[in-house]
Structure 1
Amino acid sequence: MTRGIVACAGLTLLVVLAAFAGCTSSSTTTPSYSVDSNGVLSLTCAPLTTTETVIFANDTYTLSKLVLHTTTGDVVTYLSYPKTPKAVIVYIPGAGEKITGHESRMVTYAAAGYAFMFVDYRGRGGETAGSAFSPQADYAKFKEKTWPEYYLTICDISSARAVLATKFGVPVYAVGGSNGGRYAAVAAGVDRNFAGYVGISTADWGLKDSVSAQGGSGDILRFATSLEPSTYLPLISPRPVWMFHNATDPIIPYAYGQELYATANAPKNFTEFNGDHGINADVDTRLIAQWAQIYGTQT
Structure 2
Amino acid sequence: MSRHSSGKKDLKKTKKFSSGARTPKPAVFILGFLLIVVGFFGVLYNPSNSIEETLPWKISEAGILSFSPREGPVFTVQEIEDPYSPEDPDILKMVSFESSGENVQALLRIPANASSSPGIVLLPGAGVSKEGEQGLAAELSKMGYATLTLDQRNKGAINVDRDLELFRAGLEPVEHLMVYDALKAADVLSVQPEIDPERLAILGESNGGRFAIIACALEPSLKGVIGISTSGYGTEEIDPASVADSEAYRFYLSIDPDTYLSALPPSRLVMVHSFNDTVISHELALRTFALAEEPKAMYNATEETHGYTASMRPYLEKELELFLN
Please, what TM-score do these two structures have when normalized by structure 1?
0.80
Residue 61 (structure 1) shift:
2.1
1:34 equivalent in alignment to 2:58: yes
Contact 1:91 1:176 in 2 (8 A): yes
Contact 2:235 2:256 in 1 (8 A): yes
1:273 equivalent in alignment to 2:297: no
Residue 223 (structure 1) shift:
0.8
Aligned partner of 2:213 in structure 1 is: 185
Aligned partner of 1:200 in structure 2 is: 228
Q: Residue 159 of structure 1 is aligned with which of 177, 184, 208?
A: 184
Distance 2:115 2:143 in 1: 11
Contact 2:201 2:324 in 1 (8 A): no
Matched residue count:
267
SS of match in other structure, 1:140:
helix
Equivalent AA in structure 1 for residue 78 of structure 2: T
Q: Per the alignment, do residues 104 and 248 of structure 1 end up closer, same or farther by CA in structure 2, a change over 3 Å counting?
A: closer
Distance 1:139 1:38 in 2: 17
Equivalent AA in structure 1 for residue 67 of structure 2: L
Q: Structure 1 vs Structure 2: percent identity of aligned residues?
A: 26
Residue 274 (structure 1) shift:
4.1
Aligned partner of 1:235 in structure 2 is: 263
Aligned partner of 2:148 in structure 1 is: 117
Q: Residue 121 of structure 2 is aligned with which of 85, 90, 97?
A: 90
- Structure 1's unaligned 5+ residue stretches are 1-22, 126-131
Distance 2:185 2:324 in 1: 22
Contact 2:79 2:94 in 1 (8 A): yes
Q: 1:63-142 residue pairs with structure 2 within 5 A?
A: 63-82=92-111, 83-124=114-155, 132-142=157-167
Contact 2:268 2:323 in 1 (8 A): no
Residue 160 (structure 1) shift:
0.6
Contact 2:200 2:324 in 1 (8 A): no
Contact 1:63 1:79 in 2 (8 A): yes
1:215 equivalent in alignment to 2:243: yes
Q: Residue 315 of structure 2 is aligned with which of 277, 286, 297?
A: 286
CA RMSD of aligned residues (A): 2.7
Aligned partner of 2:8 in structure 1 is: none
Q: Deviations over 1:8-46 (max 9, x none)?
A: xxxxxxxxxxxxxxx9966323x6111111111111265
SS of match in other structure, 2:321:
helix
Q: Of the two, which has the highest radius of gyration?
A: 2
Of the structure 1 ranges 136-145 and 179-188, higher mean CA displacement relative to structure 2 is found in 136-145
Residue 151 (structure 1) shift:
1.0
Contact 1:94 1:176 in 2 (8 A): yes
Distance 1:73 1:49 in 2: 11
Distance 2:262 2:177 in 1: 22
Please, what TM-score do these two structures have when normalized by structure 2?
0.74
Q: Per the alignment, do residues 98 and 24 of structure 1 end up closer, same or farther by CA in structure 2, a change over 3 Å counting?
A: same
- Structure with larger RCO (C-alpha < 8 A, sep 6+): 1
Distance 2:290 2:61 in 1: 22
Equivalent AA in structure 2 for residue 151 of structure 1: H
Distance 1:24 1:283 in 2: 50
